[in-house]
Amino acid sequence: MKDLTKGPVAGHILQLSLFIAMSTTFQTLYFLADLYFVGKLGKEAIAGVALGGNLMMLVLALTQSLGVGATALIAQAMGGQDRRRGERLFNQALVLSNLVGLTFGLAVFALRHAYCRWLAADAATAALGVQYQDWFIPALFLQFPLVAMSAALRGVGDIKVPTAIQIGTVIANIVLAPTLMFGWVTGRPLGVAGAGLASLVAVAIGCVAFTTYFRRPASPMRFRAVDWRPQPRMWWEMLRIGLPAGGEFALMFVYMILVYDILRPFGAAAQAGFGIGVRVMQSLFLPAVAIAFATAPVAGQNFGARLGPRVRQAFYSAAGMAAAVMLVLTLLCHIAPDAMIRVFNRDPAVVAFGAEYLRIISWNFVASGVVFVSSSVFQGMGNTLPPLGSSLTRLLLFAVPAYALARQPGFQMRHVWYVSLASVAIQTCVNLWLLHREFDRKLGFPPRPATVALAAPS
């Protein structure tokens, strides 16, 4: 366990975020390499695979509902020196994650045809989406135990091992995706199905690696069958914290569905341009996400140790780091948006649509970085309802005007991007107000009584 209640707060966040950033760098390479190879199959393939990306947002919603609560409670337990409770939380999180993942996998696999027909711009895009999801949905199921194990290690401040495993799985995916898609070794090209199969194999490797690590005698957490009996009260403790955080990702899933629905009349090129733009944007967000992920255990341990000033410092340090990184990335999106899209597909319509999306939406990068960090601090403090409320406000402020504009003559998708900018700006202001109110309410800990050494009897 790494004690985050002593030493420089900014130093802890920077150190943890650098390890997380190592894995997110490789994750970025995977996102971009996967997109590059799928782009060789045409705009319909990009649009079809992007439908699977929407499902990934739903998986993030569910896994965050489970993982965020586990990380926060484990971090608080370790900050309070209650190691046994932390281990029980880990095992219960693993049981719950597997149950939810299995239910999700079976339901989504059964509905994959209807889902693709609903959102795809044409029949070819829908068919390619189904081919990809035949293998990608089982990979999504394995994300559930993977996230539960990773969340437990983040809670104890162990970032090195999850980072190493993440890097290994990403490298495996980068190697396998083109090999299976184009049949470089097998002689049997699988197309978009190969990309889905590569994801399945890579995530399975990650699950095996995490399991092996936890089975070591020196592991900070252990699998204990005695702790696998369902404990609904502990499940609720985790879900009470995690559900609002997962709700934020669920709202992002709804946002993506709304955009794809509005995009349908614009054709496969528009859906492909948006799909590439979103992948590039998500890749650019990864440094800020790394900083936010590092902030949650720092805030959690210090909150559990009743060190209010260090919790505040965690937010201010992390917010400054995230804002600086996102400002640089905003400039990049204004300097070379066309080039970033053209790498993956050279269709002029795809490039024009994707570049316009990046150029406009990048104006909210700094605000989004602050939102990520503030939400993570809420997670560390064990109250994720306020950021969920601000996310719901953002969705409502986006959805109603977007659909109203879509019915107007002369409507263009850039109108939707401007609405999105306004909604993120309002969300940021709401998040900051709610966070400072939470600080005032919960960080006024009474001073700890000084310990007095007892004199030895004479």
More confident residue, 159 or 299: 299
Rounded to the nearest integer, the mean pLDDT of the chain is 84
In-domain check, residue 300: yes
Residue 183 lies inside a defined structural domain of this protein: yes
The 3 state secondary structure assigned to the chain is CCCCCCCCHHHHHHHHHHHHHHHHHHHHHHHHHHHHHHHCCCHHHHHHHHHHHHHHHHHHHHHHHHHHHHHHHHHHHHHCCCHHHHHHHHHHHHHHHHHHHHHHHHHHHHHHHHHHHHHCCCHHHHHHHHHHHHHHHHHHHHHHHHHHHHHHHHHCCCCHHHHHHHHHHHHHHHHHHHHHHHCCCCCCCCCHHHHHHHHHHHHHHHHHHHHHHHCCCCCCCCCCHHHCCCCHHHHHHHHHHHHHHHHHHHHHHHHHHHHHHHHHHHCHHHHHHHHHHHHHHHHHHHHHHHHHHHHHHHHHHHHHCCCHHHHHHHHHHHHHHHHHHHHHHHHHHHHCHHHHHHCCCCCHHHHHHHHHHHHHHHHHHHHHHHHHHHHHHHHHHCCCHHHHHHHHHHHHHHHHHHHHHHCCCCCCHHHHHHHHHHHHHHHHHHHHHHHHHHHHHHCCCCCCCCCCCCCCCC
| pLDDT, tens only, 58-98 | 887 788 778 877 887 887 787 777 778 888 888 888 899 99
Percentage of the residues of the chain whose pLDDT score is greater than 70? 93
Residue 454 located in a structural domain: no
Q: Would you give the distance in Å from CA 184 to the centre of its chain?
A: 32
Tokens of 137: 């949905």
The span from the first CA to the last CA of the chain, in angstroms, equals 40
pTM of the model: 0.70
- 26-43 average pLDDT score: 73
pLDDT tops 80 at residue 195: yes
In a domain, 1, yes or no: no
Is residue 449 scored above 70 in pLDDT?
no
Q: Is residue 448 part of a domain?
A: no
Confidence (pLDDT) at 45? 85
Domain range holding 232? 9-442
- Give the per-residue pLDDT at 454: 37
pLDDT at 355 over 80: yes
Look at residue 457 and tell me whether its pLDDT is greater than 50. no
CB 151 within 8 Å of CB 71: yes
More reliable by pLDDT, 354 or 164 = 354
pLDDT at 455: 42
Segment 358-381 shows an average pLDDT of: 92
With respect to residue 317, please indicate whether it lies within any of the assigned structural domains.
yes
Split into its structural domains, the chain has a count of: 1
Q: Which residue has the higher pLDDT, 11 or 456?
A: 11
What digits encode the pLDDT tens for the residues 247-292? 767 777 788 888 888 888 888 888 888 888 888 888 888 888 889 8
Specify if 452 maps to a domain: no
* Model confidence band, residue 431 (pLDDT cutoffs 50, 70, 90): very high
What mean pLDDT comes out for the span 126-144?
90
Amino acid at 375: S
**Is 234 within a domain?**
yes
